Chain A
Amino acid sequence: MSKSTIAINGEEREITLPLSLGELIKQNNVSQPDMVSIQVNGEFVFRERFDDTPVNEGDEIDFLYFMGGGR
């Protein structure tokens, strides 16, 4: 267990490693995990891989939300 700093949507965050992307989503109270697309350091991560993708010190993580409206 170690304290690490990452950036979520450009804001610095202290987290405790080890941690998976799936766990990070839960910690951030994302109400609809299926409605988020994630980039880690600019790279797209498949939804199926969220639980086995580890978060690393210094990662820049972007939560991109699906927005389907327009009418």
Chain B
Amino acid sequence: MDFRADQIERYSRHILLQDIGVEGQEKISKGKVLVVGAGGLGAPVLLYLAAAGVGRLGVIDGDVVDLSNLQRQVIHFTPDVGKPKVLSAKEKIRQINPDVEVVTYQAFFTAENAFDIIGGYDFIVDGTDNFPVKFLINDACVLGGKAFSHGGILRFEGQTFTHLPGTACYRCAFHSPPPPDAVPTCSQAGVLGAIAGMLGTIQAAETLKFLTGTGDLLTDRLLSFQAKSMTFRTVALRRRRHCPVCGEHPVITALHEAEQAVCELKKNETYPFI
């Protein structure tokens, strides 16, 4: 890949980094990353990956921009209220960096479309807001042999880890979604806007590390932070022999969705519980 003069200038602060250089920037520019959800986490992830010049950015989200999103979903602006989030996101990405190819999916990530969509990408970023889809992303990536970044935020807290084939997965630590009636509903929970930026930029950094092969990824470790005390901690995760999806005798061999609508929690949990 031959960079144009303007690209050399645009990416000069990456190229200056010994661990990245021109070669690393080439890897970023050839990278294909899917961001599931163009919301609180998806916004900073998309903005930084666009600025970094990731070759292809896929964005999947079936929602339209709501006024209550703007407190944290920094890729959407006030005039975007009512616009499909994927369109709003695409417009900003194109303005930040015309080098980036943007592929939009104005849909929700489901058991039916998951494999088709992730197939075209090297790395997947979870920027979703509910457990059924977080578990679905995990299962699709584990079964499909894809690397991904998990992210979750709540109130003043966030947590994330990175999965590579062979390392611990979300089910190794959390097994299955919590009882739906225990999950705080969206209106009850709330989140400090900047928390989304704190966690999303960690996910964006992990993505760039993955694409360039730089440093040690957040694999087999769960990073959590509590912003009220501003403390971070890392807990070791272990790939479990009895994990329902990546263990020795997996019971999840195809994709299913747990029945738990966003903000409208139902009882039925369709994943098998071993």
Q: Are A68 and B134 in contact (CB under 8 A)?
A: yes
Q: Beta-carbon contacts of B125-153 to A below 8 Å, as 1s and 0s?
A: 01111110010000000000000000111
The answer to whether A68 and B152 touch (CB under 8 A), given A39-B173, A44-B173, is yes
The answer to whether A71 and B134 touch (CB under 8 A), given A10-B233, A44-B173, A46-B175, is no
Q: Are A67 and B233 in contact (CB under 8 A)?
A: no
- Judge if A16 is at the interface, Cβ distance under 8 Å: no
Interchain CA distance A62-B242 in the complex, whole Å: 19
B76 to A: closest C-beta gap in Å = 11
Q: Are A69 and B235 in contact (CB under 8 A)?
A: no
Q: Are B151 and A70 in contact (CB under 8 A)?
A: yes
- Judge if B114 is at the interface, Cβ distance under 8 Å: no
Q: Are A69 and B191 in contact (CB under 8 A)?
A: yes
B194 to A: closest C-beta gap in Å = 14
- Judge if A35 is at the interface, Cβ distance under 8 Å: yes
Interchain CA distance A66-B233 in the complex, whole Å: 15
Q: Are A69 and B174 in contact (CB under 8 A)?
A: no
Q: Beta-carbon contacts of A1-37 to B below 8 Å, as 1s and 0s?
A: 0000000011000000000000000000000101101
Which one of A9, A10, A68, A70 has the highest number of Cβ atoms from chain B below 10 Å of its Cβ? A70
Contacts of A65 in B (CB 8 A): 154, 157, 159, 224
Q: Are B151 and A44 in contact (CB under 8 A)?
A: no
Q: Are B159 and A69 in contact (CB under 8 A)?
A: no
Interface size on A, residues (CB 8 A): 20
Task: Pick the residue among A32, A64, A70, A71 that contacts B182 (CB under 8 A).
Answer: A32
Q: Are A67 and B153 in contact (CB under 8 A)?
A: yes
Q: Are A70 and B39 in contact (CB under 8 A)?
A: yes
Report B92-140 residues with CB < 8 Å from chain A CB.
Answer: 126-131, 134
Chain B facing A: main interface SS = mixed
Interchain CA distance A49-B183 in the complex, whole Å: 20
Q: Are B129 and A64 in contact (CB under 8 A)?
A: no
Q: Are B40 and A69 in contact (CB under 8 A)?
A: yes
Which one of A32, A62, A68 has the highest number of Cβ atoms from chain B below 10 Å of its Cβ? A68
Contacts of A34 in B (CB 8 A): 178-179, 182
Report B197-239 residues with CB < 8 Å from chain A CB.
Answer: 222, 224, 233, 235-236, 238
Q: Are A44 and B172 in contact (CB under 8 A)?
A: yes
Q: Are A67 and B158 in contact (CB under 8 A)?
A: yes
- Judge if B37 is at the interface, Cβ distance under 8 Å: yes
Task: Pick the residue among A9, A44, A68 that contacts B233 (CB under 8 A).
Answer: A9
Interchain CA distance A26-B9 in the complex, whole Å: 57
Interchain CA distance A34-B183 in the complex, whole Å: 8
Q: Which residues of B contact A (CB under 8 A)?
A: 37, 39-42, 69, 73, 126-131, 134, 151-154, 157-159, 172-175, 177-179, 182-184, 189, 191, 196, 222, 224, 233, 235-236, 238, 240, 242
6 closest Cβ pairs, A-B complex: A67-B152, A71-B39, A34-B182, A71-B129, A70-B41, A69-B153
